[in-house]
Structure 1
Amino acid sequence: MTLRVAVIGGGIIGTAVARLLAREHDATVTLLDKEGHLAGHQTGHNSGVVHAGLYYEPGSMKATLCRRGVGLLREFVDEHDIAYDECGKVVVALDEVQAGRLDALHARAVANGVPGARLVDRDGLHDIEPGATGVRALHSPTTAIVDYPAVTRALGAQLTDAGGEVRLGHEVTGIADRGTGVCVETMAKGASDGGEYDLVIACGGLQSDRLAAMVGESRSPRIVPFYGDYFVLPREQRAAVRGMVYPVPDPRYPFLGVHVTPRVDGVLTLGPNAFLSLGRESYGRRAPVPADVLDVVGFSGFWRFAAANLPAAVRESRTALSSRQFVAEARKYVPGLDTSGAVRGTRGVRAQAMGEDGRLVDDFVITGTDRVVLVRNAPSPGATSALAIAEHVVAEAMARRSRR
């Protein structure tokens, strides 16, 4: 019997899941998204980096699915002639303390099978990235940049070609397992709609905890949104770097810090920083969203996180409040950058999952039942890993159904 499936969320992960089901399983697939176009949230508001797997705990889902995802993504963009630039990345140490941290990072890269990852000294850094300054660096030559919205649109086209349906402008307002099927209620153009499905897979990103609550799961891990601003430099500044220039992760801080990243459209970006957002989908400097603010301030885990990360808040507040401080962070690594023409680019909002204990949930998290599968946490490298996450989620969903 043909399986009736609804996939919630038209970002790159949800679209990849729906496309895989429609192409490789006996299923009628409906993709639901509240926006008027695919990739309307995190997929369309990030740096476009294709991560090689430097940072992730060996053996974790992140490490495994990132490496698998890179290969699948590269095949996909080649097939669809989507812009992809393997420009490489250097993780730059400015002093000996930072230089010491690169050994552990390199060990992870080797354990994860990152191609060509190697440590270089000051002269080696200059050979790879003449505009960068530092005492030591980790070079990842296969780290790349891509147009993720274009990837998502191509996935959506393959979904419809395989007989699937994309319903845009349909906001999910309720999910209920009735025993014989799962009822999904939606709101479209002010009118209620809905349908019954044998399987529902929710890839809701910034709304993942709220979707989980609809089916009776715990709201924890809770989504706490952090925005990240980007500055865009004039096109003539693209030549200031050959690839990406990143700082060394500091274990005292939960977020990486400002870095220099080219985009496939030929411009150079600085960012992102990370600061608490007063709205889960607030991409501009809009008024706070009361429901989103209350979700944060009423969550004990956030206050535990805040108390443990005061130095990080001070660091990030500098770049949040001062454009000059923001661009100055990037010039620490590339002193020759002319930032006089920098303008604010698109803001992104990170769907940061956080536990009741105040700790950030690091790895991918997938929960649910045999009828409702929930992608609860898919942070960076979620976009890089999207096609591999889709494989994993679909396999998990089918395995759960077979165990009924």
Structure 2
Amino acid sequence: MRHVVVIGGGIVGLATADELAARGDRVTVLEKEPRWAAHQTGHNSNVAHAGLYYRPGSLKARMSVAGNASMVRFAREHDVPVEVCGKLVVAVSPDELPRLRALAERAEANGVEAALISPQQAREHEPEVSCVAALRVESTAIIDFPAVCAALVRSLAARGAELRTDCAALAIRPSSTRAGVEVATPQGVVRADALVNCAGLHSDRVARLAGLRPAARILPFRGEYYELRPDRRHLVRGLIYPVPDPTLPFLGVHLTRMLDGSVHAGPNAVLALRREGYRWRDVSPRDLAEMAAFPGSWRLAMRYGRTGLDEVLRSLSRRRFAASLARLVPAVREADLVPSHAGVRAQAMLPSGALVDDFLIETAPHQVHVLNAPSPAATSALEIARHVANQLRD
């Protein structure tokens, strides 16, 4: 029986570990935090995406479309809260119509059920929305991703996996006695036949510990959320998104009704000053020095300087944040917003300053490294797991 060590206890790491265990491997999962799903999985918008945004044929497109179905199915089979509610992508001005139509064409190319609808039809779904046209996407769902992780942990325990929290990977080297790897941890050395790196915000560092020299470097972007006051939640029934700007790397702030009935607004996207920087005061000199030394950081700043400034100003101004939301739902006012949580997105960047657009998975002998798995990675986790298991087999 092969022994595989998986580094990272978010949804991708746990799903991969469960897939490997289901195939008959002995699995050890290492998570540096005292709990599972402590970072990206536990701080996102809990949306299972349909797959309409991504380049046809890309890993994101294929795995998001398949992952939406497999994740919803998994949730229902394991009594995880989930609701397939659909969403609206709205064009608020005529100049956005060509981008909305292009998005509809991309949805069709990716096999996503979506339909262009009129403003009147849009208001049947969202009475308070303002638009000149909208794209209705039926398969988008809201789901409790931390609860998915809890179900995966239960499955892994039942399969006999070794689950270690408070257990960071400190060093990785080839095995001295056989083909495979040795991982030094605070709880001793783990010897395994193979290694899978699903370390998210630290995936590039783990890859370097294992002897790889990945070209991509993780850049942390903080996404900050507000939520609507309880007496204003009636303004949003489901999910309302803007038409994304294809020249920018993120979707823009949007409105999402959660499973508990609350309505979250956001996220924006500002460069975090620490890999796990959930607040402005979270600063790491080491992380800042690494970003400053990487040429891609400066090239990215030159390319998106104005956009970055706008995001910072929106982060510091609730009025600006509310104005962005009011483009979608004019009734939203600054006083309607109360601060909510923040998340940090692990985004891989190349030395050229280009952000890696697709999932990035690299292999080495006895190793697979997931080096870029931002949204829709949670949606796609079960599909990424199958892909990684196949890579490790091959």
TM-score by length of 2: 0.97
- The one-character-per-residue Cα deviations of 1:324-382 (angstroms, maximum 9, x if unpaired) are 11122111111123552422111100101000110010111111223111001111110
Which of residues 94, 105, 108 in structure 2 aligns to 1:107? 105
Deviates more, 1:354-363 or 1:334-343: 334-343
The aligned runs of 1:322-341 (5 Å cut-off) are: 322-337=317-332, 339-341=334-336
Q: 1:308 Cα deviation (Å)?
A: 0.9
The aligned runs of 1:122-271 (5 Å cut-off) are: 122-178=119-175, 180-188=179-187, 193-271=188-266
Contact 1:253 1:311 in 2 (8 A): no
The one-letter amino acid of 1:174's match is A
Q: Which residue of 2 aligns with 1:319?
A: 314
Q: Which residue of 2 aligns with 1:24?
A: 23
State how far apart, in whole Å, the 2-side matches of 1:394 and 1:217 are: 19
Contact 2:272 2:280 in 1 (8 A): no
Contact 2:180 2:191 in 1 (8 A): yes
Does 1:73 find its partner at 2:68? no
State how far apart, in whole Å, the 2-side matches of 1:230 and 1:180 are: 46
Q: 1:123 Cα deviation (Å)?
A: 1.6
Does 1:380 find its partner at 2:379? no
Contact 2:68 2:139 in 1 (8 A): no
Contact 1:233 1:339 in 2 (8 A): no
- The one-character-per-residue Cα deviations of 1:113-158 (angstroms, maximum 9, x if unpaired) are 112x011122222222211001111110221111100001100110
SS in 2 for 1:73: helix
Does 1:290 find its partner at 2:289? no
- The one-character-per-residue Cα deviations of 1:152-192 (angstroms, maximum 9, x if unpaired) are 1100110010110110000111111235320011125xxxx
Q: 1:219 Cα deviation (Å)?
A: 4.0
The alignment-based identity, stated in percent, is 44
Q: 1:218 Cα deviation (Å)?
A: 1.7
Does 1:368 find its partner at 2:363? yes
Q: Which residue of 2 aligns with 1:64?
A: 62
State how far apart, in whole Å, the 2-side matches of 1:263 and 1:296 are: 34
The one-letter amino acid of 2:385's match is A
State how far apart, in whole Å, the 2-side matches of 1:225 and 1:49 are: 20
The aligned runs of 1:273-312 (5 Å cut-off) are: 273-312=268-307
The one-letter amino acid of 1:86's match is V
Which of residues 89, 92, 99 in structure 1 aligns to 2:90? 92
TM-score by length of 1: 0.94
Q: 1:67 Cα deviation (Å)?
A: 1.2
State how far apart, in whole Å, the 1-side matches of 2:91 and 2:26 are: 51
Q: Which residue of 1 aligns with 2:13?
A: 14
Q: 1:235 Cα deviation (Å)?
A: 2.9
How many residues of Structure 1 are paired with residues of Structure 2 in the alignment? 392
Q: Which residue of 1 aligns with 2:51?
A: 53
Does 1:35 find its partner at 2:30? no
- The one-character-per-residue Cα deviations of 1:294-331 (angstroms, maximum 9, x if unpaired) are 11111100111110112211321221121111122111
Q: Which residue of 1 aligns with 2:116?
A: 119
- The one-character-per-residue Cα deviations of 1:234-266 (angstroms, maximum 9, x if unpaired) are 233332122111111113422221111111122
State how far apart, in whole Å, the 2-side matches of 1:301 and 1:96 are: 35
State how far apart, in whole Å, the 2-side matches of 1:107 and 1:379 are: 24
Q: Which runs of 5+ in 1 are unaligned?
A: 400-404
Deviates more, 1:329-338 or 1:9-18: 329-338
Contact 1:283 1:347 in 2 (8 A): yes
Two-structure CA RMSD over aligned residues (Å)? 1.3
State how far apart, in whole Å, the 1-side matches of 2:94 and 2:151 are: 45
SS in 2 for 1:183: strand
Contact 1:85 1:146 in 2 (8 A): yes
State how far apart, in whole Å, the 2-side matches of 1:340 and 1:140 are: 30
State how far apart, in whole Å, the 1-side matches of 2:235 and 2:48 are: 21
Q: Which runs of 5+ in 2 are unaligned?
A: none
The one-letter amino acid of 1:231's match is Y
Contact 2:89 2:243 in 1 (8 A): yes
State how far apart, in whole Å, the 2-side matches of 1:19 and 1:238 are: 38
Contact 1:77 1:151 in 2 (8 A): yes
State how far apart, in whole Å, the 1-side matches of 2:340 and 2:171 are: 35
SS in 2 for 1:261: strand
Contact 2:60 2:359 in 1 (8 A): yes
State how far apart, in whole Å, the 2-side matches of 1:238 and 1:87 are: 16
